Amino acid sequence: MTNAIDRLTTPQVPIPAHLGQATAIEQSRAVAEVQAAVVAAKQMPRDTDRAQADMRRSCGEPALASRAFFSFPRSGEAVSGPSIHLARELARCWGNIQYGIAELRRDDAAGISEMQAFAWDVETNTRSASIFIVPHRKDTKRGVKDITDLRDIYENNANQGARRVREAIFAVLPQWFTEEAQELCRKTLTSASGRDLEQRIATAVEQFGRMDITQQQLEEKVGQPRALWNGEDVADLGVLFQSLKRREITRDEAFPPAMVTAADITGEKRAEVPA
């Protein structure tokens, strides 16, 4: 059921000369599963009103709203947007959507994996897919490091693939549907007030404290003392915390260490120039 455009633009993956019995069975099963999904989607088309109601209910839950966005710095600016967690939930609410990632080929000698990420609206036959190369490397404080451990390679591939799957899902979902979901999640994050807000502030300070991030650092990040924080400030800190937890950003990137000067080390003060 691949679109004609997909057949023209998607690189063809070489097929091995010999296929094992297990591989042949799996290919047959995959074909049958796709055919069954198409038939089921036609027999049970989505109810848009129900999908919208499910989306609104999910986005009103703090558990989802707290994981609905990501944020990390790039070139001195903050990059933010809807997360893979929100994308997966919206795909569930919309219904009749298949998505995933697959490792097409791994070349340990070259240190790369060839991956595919896709999302497919089975009911409308709208499909978004991309094939990309993931180097077996990761950024560290000491520069780029090669990855050789199988588990590290798997986690690196999954992390890179999740970003492409997120974009693929949002590509097949209606724009009005995703925009309303993001707005509702933001309202859920910023709706706290009074005692509830105080509890969320205390929880945020405690969570960052486990990462050895002090309240003073949080106040500098927010731009005002804790006593003046509002629901939007706590929501932004929550997004930042989740990005740190998912390792989308490092602690030093989120909270750059203070620059130490020679005067700080020697204890000398710069001589004042007389007026």
The residues pairing with 233 across neighbouring beta strands, listed in sequence order, are none
Q: Is the pLDDT of residue 12 over 90?
A: no
**Residue 7 banded pLDDT, cuts 50, 70, 90:** very low
**Residue 5 banded pLDDT, cuts 50, 70, 90:** very low
User: What is the chain's mean pLDDT, rounded?
Assistant: 81
pLDDT on residue 43:
76
Lookup: tokens for 212? 């050895």
**Residue 270 banded pLDDT, cuts 50, 70, 90:** low
Measured between alpha carbons, how far is 95 from 23 in angstroms, rounded to an integer? 29
Measured between alpha carbons, how far is 166 from 128 in angstroms, rounded to an integer? 11
Range scoring the smallest mean pLDDT among 20-29, 59-68, 91-100, 122-131: 20-29
Category of 139 on φ-ψ map: left (φ > 0), alpha (ψ -120 to 50) or beta:
beta
Average pLDDT over residues 88-109: 93
Q: Is the pLDDT of residue 236 over 90?
A: no
Using DSSP's 3-state secondary structure scheme, residue 273 falls into: coil
Residue 247 vs residue 193, higher pLDDT: 247
- Which is it for strands 112-121 and 143-146: parallel, antiparallel or unpaired? unpaired
Measured between alpha carbons, how far is 94 from 98 in angstroms, rounded to an integer? 11
pLDDT on residue 20:
65
Range scoring the smallest mean pLDDT among 68-82, 130-144, 230-244: 68-82
pLDDT on residue 2:
42
Alpha-carbon torsion (228, 230, 236, 240), positive or negative: positive
pLDDT on residue 275:
47
Average pLDDT over residues 105-134: 93
Residue 76 vs residue 9, higher pLDDT: 76
pLDDT on residue 259:
61
What Cα–Cα distance (Å) separates residue 114 from each residue in 15, 30, 170, 191, 227? 14, 20, 22, 43, 50
Average pLDDT over residues 244-268: 69
Q: Supply the DSSP symbol for 13.
A: P
